[in-house]
Chain A
């Protein structure tokens, strides 16, 4: 442990945020705007489609709901990993992050099973009838989210390597904080999207 005294003009003013953590928050804002745009487009289209009798209603595949549970559980493990790091319980961090990573991969697999279910229902990305545009929206919105998840998995992978090198601890929380923030965001977005697609019926 070290005690540091900063006595003079040369000491820098402490920022209220860490720059890197702040950057991820801004990225989250930008991503949120993308999903807000898609959700708004869906909502507007649906209103028009119902009015013009050109909107096909269908039940979302169960796999998408399972994905929501998986991503919620993964967020829990992410939080445990972060807590372990803040408590300097450094040996627990890699395993907790790995479980989060595995759950993230499971989420992707579950999403693909959701797409297969849609195909089984005869709903494709391209629409052959006007009303099937509702399915196109589900593909595009969930696809955009899936790309974000893949980005999150890359971050998690780097975090696992860093934590295995004991580089993630109380004194060095920036990276795991970024991972945690982003991963929670992805979980919240999917839960929002699935509820939105369900209740916007």
Chain B
């Protein structure tokens, strides 16, 4: 029997990061298992995909504003899809589809959640890395592969998927329904399946890390709200993405294996009636929206979590109602699973079922309002620092209110039947989900840029970026409410052909010009971002004088995060401007004067397990069968 004293298990546990050796270029920058590097990979890929997504929106906005005008530059850009400078109608649909897909999944799910969950979960809970760094790396590479597959659909002869980002059957189930229904949709489905694998690998890791790898003292009620948001987002993804996988698999069977889960009584020109029938396209909608609605919160909740942290830090005040914020996040998460039917009011569902979906949808207003009021109460009488991150976080609150209010209209079945598939819906989700979430993402980038890259971003350019983006977002999306109320439908190629909608042509021009203004603003961001990485002012360890654990790490990144022991946590994350302290912040890991330290009491652990011994594997294998009939020695 031997006795040994463990002196530094904390530093050596988890992944044995106590000895730092410099990995090769390939494993440091490409196949890295370091969560900080993986977060940068997610961010940069997300930004690139965001540029594609926004570029597509500008192209189809050109079409909507000047449908009868030829733009020769389009032909040189898009070739046969813009003959004589006029965008092809099928390609217009493809642009709308891929824009939606990229923004929802690739930018605001992977780009936002992937980036900040990876960066902040280990750093803010006090862990050396994720529970499984290898799975984490796989998660990024599945995402990257998925991005490549999706973008490769632009090189398909028949163009990318064009049946909308929801890829409803039968357009998506019949390869000859429209040009984009062929190879484009196959690639879309493959890309989304790869994406789901990535999201599940990431989500499983996030949940495990939060529950299992928190440092000493980091109880659940001391977790920063960012972590609560990422944690609940991962749970939503874990429960809903497999359902989308199921929906996608059934769609693949319908497309390629002659089944008819979603096909019913279809007659095709030149083909006649399909023999495989008896299915229901509405089934796809149920399965899709079971993911689709939680997906809204998968996008939004990380942004809300980021804003909570940024607003509290920059208002130099504790977040108002921490517990209420957590409960409202849990409430939103729960409700998000039972409201999917509000996307399907006009599918002919039983009115009683519709009423149930309507009520639970409207109840989401309660936790959402709690969050909004708590943000405002946190800002109230705060010693506010208007950093670019803070501006974007406040911008998020603005969009959350503006877009959230129209959700009350659309959640109402009687109103939704009128406004469904109109520009009112486009305005609603672009404000509450698109703009709010992207503002949360920008807030996160500006706030944690010093932690990611060790440099500061330019504040003036950041503020300019905020104002231009904020103004242009409202100029683009606010008029769409009025168009929608007047019955202007979404996804139409050319409104000048419909006399009733000609009065909206000038508004369309106005929106398009505003969209280009927004696009120019993003160029400022890109310049600021990449310029600051290489030429930015060097960051200090805790530039925002923040409380959370990530600011206790050194500026230079090391695999394992902390040089020595992981700090112990003594308090919640938002203790700003405490009257008993000279400084207006109180880091979670600092022990106060006279504060009792409950975490350093000696403990004894007795280990009585089998030590194991070495024998030849083949001998053990064969003797094992004999051992079945013998008593244990």
Contact = CB atoms under 8 A, between A and B. Distances in A.
Interface of A: 1-13, 15-20, 22-23, 26-27, 29-31, 33-34, 36-38, 41, 44-45, 48-49, 52, 54, 87-96, 98, 125-133, 136-137, 140, 144, 160-161, 163-167, 169-172
A58 B461 CA distance: 69
Interface stretch (B480-488, B549-557, B599-607): B599-607
Interface in B184-200: 200
A16 B286 CA distance: 37
B608 interface: yes
Nearest 3 CB-CB pairings of A with B? A130-B278, A126-B258, A171-B609
A1 B1 contact: yes
Given A10-B565, A41-B283, A96 B605 contact: no
B291 to A, nearest CB: 9
B4 to A, nearest CB: 6
A4 B278 CA distance: 67
B200 A130 contact: no
Nearest to B612: A169
Contacts of A26: 203-204, 207-208, 238
Contact of A22 (B212, B242, B277, B279): B212
Contacts of B257: 125-126
A94 B621 contact: yes
Interface stretch (B8-16, B154-162, B469-477, B512-520): B8-16
B283 A45 contact: yes
A92 B628 contact: yes
A160 B216 contact: no
B1 A3 contact: yes
A93 B624 contact: yes
Interface stretch (B31-39, B171-179, B244-252, B387-395): B244-252
B568 interface: yes
Contacts of A167: 612
A140 B249 CA distance: 9
B623 interface: yes
B1 A10 contact: no
B16 to A, nearest CB: 13
Given A6-B603, A96-B628, A126-B257, A140 B250 contact: yes
Given A19-B131, A91-B620, A125-B257, A10 B9 contact: yes
A155 to B, nearest CB: 15
A5 B612 contact: no
A30 B606 CA distance: 37
Contact of B624 (A48, A95, A126): A95
A1 B607 contact: yes
19 contacts: A4-B605, A8-B602, A9-B216, A9-B565, A17-B211, A22-B208, A30-B204, A30-B239, A30-B241, A30-B242, A37-B243, A45-B280, A91-B627, A95-B624, A96-B628, A127-B258, A133-B279, A140-B250, A167-B612
B243 A7 contact: no
Contacts of B613: 166
Contacts of B287: 37, 41
Contacts of B7: 8, 10
B460 to A, nearest CB: 44
Contacts of B216: 9, 12-13
B6 interface: yes
B350 interface: no
A8 B600 contact: yes
B260 interface: yes
B611 interface: yes
A5 B604 contact: yes
B2 interface: yes
Contacts of B615: 166
A164 B9 contact: no
Contacts of A33: 238-240, 242-243
Contact of A95 (B213, B250, B565, B625): B625
A92 B1 contact: no
Contacts of A16: 211-212
Nearest to B631: A89
Given A166-B613, A166-B615, A37 B290 contact: yes
Given A3-B3, A95-B625, A133 B212 contact: no
Given A6-B603, A95-B625, A31 B242 contact: yes
Given A9-B599, A130-B277, A4 B610 contact: no
B8 A10 contact: yes
B20 interface: no
A2 B609 CA distance: 8
A157 to B, nearest CB: 12
B618 interface: yes
Nearest to B214: A13
